[in-house]
Structure 1
Amino acid sequence: MPDDVSLFAQQMQGVRRIHVDHADVGKVKPNRMVQQMNRKNALESVAKAQVVDGLSDQFVLDVGAEDTLCWARDGVQDGQIRRLKAGQVVFEGSLDLHGMTVEKARSTLREFLEEALRLEVRCVRVTHGKAARLDGRKPMIKSHVNTWLRQHEKVLGFTSCVPRHGGTGAVYVLLKRHMLEGRDDY
């Protein structure tokens, strides 16, 4: 019966020795000062990202997939909001935000509203969807749109659409026009 040393020598035949004078202990730990700077930069970029083009994500009002949205700026007539809610105000433009990231949806919505205002459009439809999220939280784009529209100074009000126009997955948005000053004052 061969001894352990001879068995080891037999197994090591043909193996080449590596000549390295230091051990690889894994990932090198970054300097503590560098870590603090990285954290500070990350926090600053998050703070900057919270307000883009005047539309903030700092406080998002979570809404459910089937929740009906309805909001009006102070002074907007109740009758105008009732007509909007009933789908009796003709919308002249439509935007679909399905499948977009929050950042893409924000910039697309801002550009869409700017164009509608430039063209003196009175009412538009924004389809935000009402996707149920895998983590069980409220619909993300719907919640953000609900928050962003309240922040936009030219939005007089909005309400969920009638079923044939998207139901609780879309909103009619009433915009302030400028062509004839005073016409849309509330």
Structure 2
Amino acid sequence: MQDDDFSLFKAELRGVKPLTQDRADTGKSRPDVKRLATLRQAAATRVESIKVDGLSDQFVIDVGAEDPLHWAANGVQEGQMRKLKLGQIAFDGSLDLHGMSVEKARDTLWEFLAEANKFEVRCVRVTHGKAARKDGRKPLIKSHVNTWLRQHPQVLGFTSCLPKHGGTGAVYVMLKRTMMDGRDE
């Protein structure tokens, strides 16, 4: 009976040609090795050029165009934040981030806060705008500024401005002063 099975098997395979390749065609095009090497090189170069300033974009808190912003670091007195919100703490510097890319806004904000710190400025105003995006999502720069200011070591608190100073399109930012350590916290 085994000979019959073998004969039947050979009869069924008559006319079948053995495969010349041992790889299946998945339908995918072969990767362009040179292009991939170029992309890898470009990615490695970009990573090295990123400025490490402590402001992370890993998790951005999305806020609406008209949402008022308010945040205070631990230990900041409510009375100080109330004065800030009412515009009773004069701001000595102002920065407008309208029309900037996220990366440009981030660098500009970092430099502005460093400069304010250098001159012992107590309060500044940052205008982030509140433009709704074309894709219907929340305002990009406003959301990033809200996240970045919470991470900055010199920021004690911030709150949306009075309408005459930009309303929900800007924030008053209260900063630490190093010469008078202990007074701000």
For 1:104, the equivalent position in structure 2 comes to 104
| C-alpha RMSD over aligned residues | 2.6
Segments ≥4 residues shifted beyond 4 Å: 43-49
What's the secondary structure of 2:126's corresponding residue? strand
For 1:11, the equivalent position in structure 2 comes to none
- Identity, in percent, stands at 68
Are residue 174 (structure 1) and residue 174 (structure 2) matched? yes
Are residue 147 (structure 1) and residue 138 (structure 2) matched? no
**Count of aligned pairs:** 157
Q: Which runs of 5+ in 1 are unaligned?
A: 1-26
Structure 1 residue identity aligned to 2:36 = Q
C-alpha separation between the residues in 2 aligned to 1:57 and 1:86? 30
C-alpha separation between the residues in 2 aligned to 1:100 and 1:164? 23
Q: Which runs of 5+ in 2 are unaligned?
A: 1-28
For 2:118, the equivalent position in structure 1 comes to 118
Q: TM-score scaled by structure 2?
A: 0.77
C-alpha separation between the residues in 2 aligned to 1:45 and 1:174? 34
C-alpha separation between the residues in 2 aligned to 1:47 and 1:143? 26
What's the secondary structure of 1:124's corresponding residue? strand
Q: TM-score scaled by structure 1?
A: 0.76
2:32 to 30, 33, 41: 30
Structure 1 residue identity aligned to 2:166 = G
